[in-house]
Amino acid sequence: MNHDTYPASLLRGILRRCKTMVMVGASPNWVRPSNFAMKYLQIKGYRIIPVNPARAGEEILGERVYSRLADIPEPFPMVDIYRNAEAAGEIVDEAISLAADKGIEVVWMQLGVRNDAAAARAEAAGLTAVMNRCPKIEYGRFSGELGWGGINTGIITARRQSVI
């Protein structure tokens, strides 16, 4: 798959389907981007499960923090990775190995994070891989909220606003 541009339908479909996301690298520090995205997606009705080994057992924004994906005791369709490209590769491999057990469909790497080899492994295992994007920003684009801040959503339509 082309990882420079993604069709709107692909990203919108992921955001409609994956109502539970695991956020690997979620930070309890409110000025960190991961905390921003978690807070926003919670407001929009998503369940966000944080993974952060240094904070395992604590809570971030009301959710229990797990040490690794395998420890999460429930299914989750999407893994959102807030780690550097190298670390992202290992997390993708962990997600591939747990995909059948946890129902994982999507591995998503954050803005600035790109590991093409890991994405290719995920795709070979039947998962969808997204890189260098933020689910908060994409949600904001499809809902039109991004445009409230003067950001170009690229959306042209004469239909009334829907949610996403």
Partner 1 sequence: MADEKDDFGIETRALHAGARPDATTGARSTPIYQTTSYVFEDIDHAASLFNLQTFGYIYSRLTNPTVAVLEERIASLEGGRGSVAAASGHAAQFLAFFSLMEPGDEFVSSRNLYGGSITQFGLSFKRLGWHCHFVDPTDPENFAAAITPKCKAIFIEGLANPGGVIVDIEAVADVARAHDIPLIVDNTLATPFLCRPFEWGADIILHSATKFIGGHGNSLGGLVVESGKFDWFASGKFPGMTEPDPAYHGLTFAETFGDFGYSMKTRAVGLRDFGPSLSPMNAYLLLQGVETLPLRMARHCDNAQAVAEFLEAHPKVDWVSYAGLKSSPYKALAEKYTPRGPGAVFTFGLSGGFDAGVRLVEACELFSHLANVGDTRSLILHPASTTHRQLSDEQRETSGTTPEVVRLSIGIETIDDIIADLDQALDKA
Binding site for partner 1 (CB under 8 A): 7-9, 12, 30-31, 33, 35-36, 39-40, 43, 111-112, 134, 137, 140, 142, 144-162
* Dist. CA 164–CA 150, nearest whole Å: 18
Our CB check for partner 1 shows the closer of 40 and 76 to be 40
Query: Least CB distance from residue 9 to partner 1, whole Å?
Result: 6
Our CB check for partner 1 shows the closer of 70 and 148 to be 148
Question: Buried (b) or exposed (e) across 81-108, using 16+ Cβ within 10 A?
Answer: bbbebeebbebbebbbebbeebebbbbb
Our CB check for partner 1 shows the closer of 94 and 145 to be 145
Query: Least CB distance from residue 162 to partner 1, whole Å?
Result: 8
Cβ–Cβ under 8 Å, residues 110 and 82: yes
* Dist. CA 51–CA 23, nearest whole Å: 6
* Dist. CA 96–CA 118, nearest whole Å: 10
Our CB check for partner 1 shows the closer of 30 and 117 to be 30
Query: Least CB distance from residue 91 to partner 1, whole Å?
Result: 20
21's torsion region: left (phi>0), alpha (psi -120 to 50) or beta? beta
Our CB check for partner 1 shows the closer of 76 and 142 to be 142
* Dist. CA 65–CA 26, nearest whole Å: 9
Query: Least CB distance from residue 138 to partner 1, whole Å?
Result: 11
Query: Least CB distance from residue 156 to partner 1, whole Å?
Result: 5
